[in-house]
Amino acid sequence: MSEGLSFDLALGHPGFTLSASADLPGQGITALVGPSGSGKTTLLQAIAGLEAAAGHVTLNGRALHPLPPHKRGVAVVFQNARLFGHMDVAGNIGFGARRRGTDPAAVARIVAALDLGPLMGRSVSRLSGGETRRVALARALAASPDLLLLDEPLSGLDAARRDEILPYLSRAIRAAGCPALFVTHDLEESLRLADRHLAMDGGRITGAARRPLALRLDDIPDDHMARRLGAQVLRPSQAMRAAERWSLVIDPASAIVMRAERLHAPDALILPARLGNAQGAGRAVEICGQDVVWPSSLSDFASVAGGLECQIAIRRPLFRLDGTGDDS
């Protein structure tokens, strides 16, 4: 029995043909990226059973296709949150939970992870855009989905709101323990959320890459991209000058991309361990999406999920949007 999500789907609209297949792991967050009109939404809809298609979809060996949508165990979060306007926040979240008999303790954990406690009694018509997105995600997660599909869940939010939500989103999806596939046009979102990437073009999957996000190092530090990411790129030689508190074992061909506002935070000082001190010598850093785990002492590893906003960029190109990158 194959683990994870596997699909091979075909359908046609006038002037557009979807013919997409991929095998994804049973855990983690996959970003689906590609130009407008490439078929990302159509693929999500077909996986969810909301759009008729030929082919197969299996999740952990269970055939989802051609089951009706409500029997697939798939939750979809759309661009517009589509909350139930006649219910308050608690009602919306409870709806998903009741349908699948989700343990109330699990629902409480989701509410806490998304920091929705203070909003539970509020009418959904009185929520901000960011709060609305968090409720939509909570409602989807509360239904204990086997697979979570998100179609540009943060579109239309300004940068500040998106920054506010991203850590919640990452934490809540990972805590749910189901695989998630999310459509995004936003490089920062994919950098910060995803640990696997699928590229789509012309109705086909044209490339895939495992984590860490495989952008060519040379793609990142140009001024425009750095500004978009709010980041500065510390090449190893520059990073050494910032050496004080932590050391980090990284490949000499790698660089650390760190959000500029964190550069002077004492807890966020990082240097490559080629010149490392005893704390980091010989230990490898582990990257999981935005979560960087590194040795805080010789015997102890500290997780800094959400607390340290940095990414490791690998110099070797693993993935390019034109689909010519490899996936090794």
Ligand X SMILES: Nc1ncnc2c1ncn2[C@@H]1O[C@H](COP(=O)(O)OP(=O)(O)OP(=O)(O)O)[C@@H](O)[C@H]1O
Shortest spacing between CB 16 and ligand X, in angstroms: 4
Shortest spacing between CB 39 and ligand X, in angstroms: 4
CB closer to ligand X out of 36 and 297: 36
Q: What are phi and psi of 160, to 5 degrees?
A: -65, -45
* Terminal-residue alpha carbon distance, the chain: 24
CB closer to ligand X out of 199 and 285: 199
Q: How many CB atoms lie within 10 A of CB 58?
A: 18
CB closer to ligand X out of 202 and 236: 202
Radius of gyration of the chain (CA): 21
CB closer to ligand X out of 57 and 308: 57
Shortest spacing between CB 81 and ligand X, in angstroms: 16
Shortest spacing between CB 183 and ligand X, in angstroms: 6
Q: Which residues contact 114 (CB under 8 A, 6 or more apart)?
A: 134, 135, 137, 138, 168, 172
CB closer to ligand X out of 36 and 328: 36
Helices (H), 81-235: 89-100, 104-113, 129-142, 159-176, 187-193, 223-229
Beta bridge partners of 20: 9
Answer yes or no: are the C-beta atoms of 125 and 156 closer than 8 Å.
Answer: no
The angle formed by the CA atoms of residues 42, 48 and 52, to the nearest 5 degrees, is 60
CB closer to ligand X out of 82 and 99: 82
CA distance 166 to 309: 11
Binding site for ligand X (CB under 6 A): 13-14, 16, 34, 36-42
Shortest spacing between CB 104 and ligand X, in angstroms: 36
Answer yes or no: are the C-beta atoms of 299 and 279 closer than 8 Å.
Answer: no
Shortest spacing between CB 151 and ligand X, in angstroms: 8
